[in-house]
Chain A
Amino acid sequence: MDFSKIDLWILACSGITVIVTIWMGFRSAKTSKSASDFFVAGRSVSVGWNASAISGEYLSAASFMGIAGMVMLSGYDALWYPVCYACGYLFLLLFIAGPLRRFGAYTIPDFAEGRYDSPVFRKIAVCFVLFIGFFYTMPQMKGAGTTLAYIFPGLPYWVGVALVGAVITLNVALGGMKGITLVQAVQYWIKMFAISVPVFVLLSVYGGYGKNLSQNHSAADVSSPPAIVQTVDHAITDRHALPEKAPKDEAWIAPFGPLTTKAAKAAGLTAAEAKPYSLLYTFSLIVALVCGTAGLPHILVRFYTNPDGVAAKKTTMWVMILIGVFYVFPPVFGVLGRNFLPELYAATGSKGPDKVVLELPTLIRAKYGIMGSILSGITCAGAFAAFMSTFSGLLVSMTGALAHDVYGRMLRPDATPEDRMKMFKWCAILVGSVSVLLGSMVEPLEINFMVGQAFAIAAASYFPLLFMSVWWRGMTMKGAATGMLTGGLCALLSATIVNASTLALDKGPMGKLFAGFSGINDFWKVHPLLRILCEQPAIWSVPLSIGLMIVVSKATRATIPADVRMKMLVLHAPEDLGLKQEYIQEQQGVAH
């Protein structure tokens, strides 16, 4: 490792973010000791803070680094990711958030148990917290490894993953960073600042968003060759020559480009033949992302930290605005990266396009000296905020599922609170270690693609469960469990196969480790349709899951919960009618 290459500005900005985050986490953790403290304290939080906190938790390394990298690599098709990340929230608002809030279930397993009066179902539902969680932590870990390898040139990727994983795990195990509203809210503003300020500076130096896009001419604009436009301010906006490996302009800027046609191209189909496949890919991707957002385990909790339903709705409106504004910026990095950092196309892993957000601001170092370093330091700080907040949030919810549900309810229901606290720490270390191990294997995979897979699994498991349970009275526990398990596991299996076959292609150590799976790639070449359906499983797994729920529920009609009308009333009647309190009293009456 070469210490002379370390930029002190970048190091300082990142260091400050890490220290402030950890310090704030511990300070707030001191004031709120138990989970109920957290929720009760949360209820006094104002709309603005709470909206920032939800947004802060939501924007992960995929949003901060992954989208830019993917837009640079794949062009237009990658735009679906930011759009659906932001708009999936609308789906959550329209169909799920309100009823779930009225029902008062803090987590999806809570809801599963309450809606069907079935502790068994809770245990089934908990599994997916872990499945989705691990798929979601892998890209966060890649973000960590990439950022550290960038700050300390020469540092091996896995060391960065292990280091960040260890710090956050230790922090969570010691009780800091328990998804505290204040920390998450500050994290949002760090991320927003870190993504927008460099964009404004870069655009003022290198010309506008539209102007940079116009340098990539599409197949449709034959008339105005961009060369004429460029001569006006040649020195400013002239883009760098693209290397061999970069996708061509026409494919990059137009829909149905490299991302969605990869499988069909590998099978040797012509552009015209490949187009229907791309359309299918695009639709499946949209379904996965939109439905997946509504089924993400760690997002729903925050709807309860509002004092009442009106505040919850206002908060959601602000979240949509805060997230939406954020998502305009990452693609700009992708476009600028294509024009001014094309050398990234040649590299793979943590040296490839996924680091374009970090690298791009240093370009203006040549012109404005230290300013470039500071800007790059700011984006590094944002990256740290992104993967730290999401990883700690996930770690807390996964550890909670293990310690509370698996240990506390299944293995040793008679455990004392001290035992449970101790177990929480051990579970945090276990989950953290597994995340680091998984994270160090995924260097060749794109950050954003991996997050998409986590969404696809959520879309086929939790989304159908929530959606159907809220709106259909005929659901039974058996129906819900069959649909959720089948759909979710199918999506999980598809994602794993695709990742294994992609890793088998890697030229590094992972290629050797996964060499046994390289046979799948030959299979994909003959069956491009199957490859697309495996890579983006949502288009069949979501209907499969919902279909199974309906069929099995109809078959087991006798086991519909007896008080389903009361449950439905609690889910749907306005909170002002006070049905919730009545329901709780009734439940307690039954229990005694």
Chain B
Amino acid sequence: MKPTPPHHDDFIHSEEFLSALMKRQLKLSITCATAFLVLLFGMPLLNYFTPVFMAQRVGGFTLSWLILGVLFFPYVWIIARIFITRSMALENQEVRLAAEGNKREL
């Protein structure tokens, strides 16, 4: 869409728009970060409290090694993929919202 030079008292310059915007973005980022951090910080805890379970062999690997050395990477790709799709959808939605908001003000 073509950007129109907005006035400073319109909707997109309002406090309401900014705080809603930041809240939505932060919510998405924190959701994705939680999914990531749970496994990241959970791994040492699992190793600490269930050492025998994590040491069982899976195709020669210990379970712990298999998760950290191989499976962790695809897991992160999935989170990144979800974040990127969602955040692009969010941006489109915000642009629509801003346009509607500006119309309402007029």
**Using a CB–CB distance below 8 Å, which chain A residues touch chain B?**
76, 79-80, 82-84, 86-87, 90-91, 93-95, 98, 208-214, 218-221, 253-256, 275, 279, 282-283, 286, 290, 309-310, 313-314, 316-317, 320-321, 324-325, 327-328, 331, 471, 565-566, 568-569, 572-574, 576-579, 581-582
Contact = CB atoms under 8 A, between A and B. Distances in A.
Contacts of B1: 576
B68 A578 contact: no
B106 interface: no
Contact of B12 (A290, A320, A577): A577
A256 B52 CA distance: 13
B92 to A, nearest CB: 8
A221 B55 contact: yes
Interface string B51-94: 11011111111101100111011101101110110011001101
B51 A220 contact: yes
Contact of A572 (B21, B65, B84): B21
Contact of A578 (B4, B58, B72): B4
A324 B62 contact: no
A39 to B, nearest CB: 21
A573 B33 CA distance: 21
What are the 4 A-B residue pairs with the smallest beta carbon separation, nearest first?
A578-B3, A210-B60, A220-B55, A214-B60
A330 to B, nearest CB: 10
A314 B84 contact: yes
Contacts of B62: 76, 213, 218, 220, 253-254
A317 B81 contact: yes
A90 B79 contact: yes
25 contacts: A83-B68, A83-B73, A87-B72, A91-B36, A94-B33, A210-B61, A214-B61, A221-B56, A253-B62, A253-B65, A254-B51, A275-B48, A290-B40, A313-B87, A316-B84, A317-B81, A566-B13, A572-B21, A572-B25, A573-B18, A574-B98, A577-B12, A577-B98, A579-B12, A582-B5
Interface in B6-65: 6, 12-13, 15, 18, 21-22, 25-26, 29, 32-33, 36, 40-41, 44-45, 47-48, 51-52, 54-62, 64-65
Contacts of A83: 68-69, 72-73
Contacts of A566: 13
A61 B30 CA distance: 32
Contacts of A321: 77
A84 B3 CA distance: 40
Given A79-B65, A94-B83, A565-B15, A255 B47 contact: yes
Contacts of A256: 47-48
B71 to A, nearest CB: 10
Nearest to B81: A317
B80 A90 contact: yes
A255 B43 CA distance: 10
B40 A87 contact: yes
Given A79-B65, A286-B40, A214 B87 contact: no
Given A94-B33, A313-B87, A572-B22, A582 B77 contact: no
B33 A95 contact: yes
B60 A213 contact: yes
Nearest to A276: B48
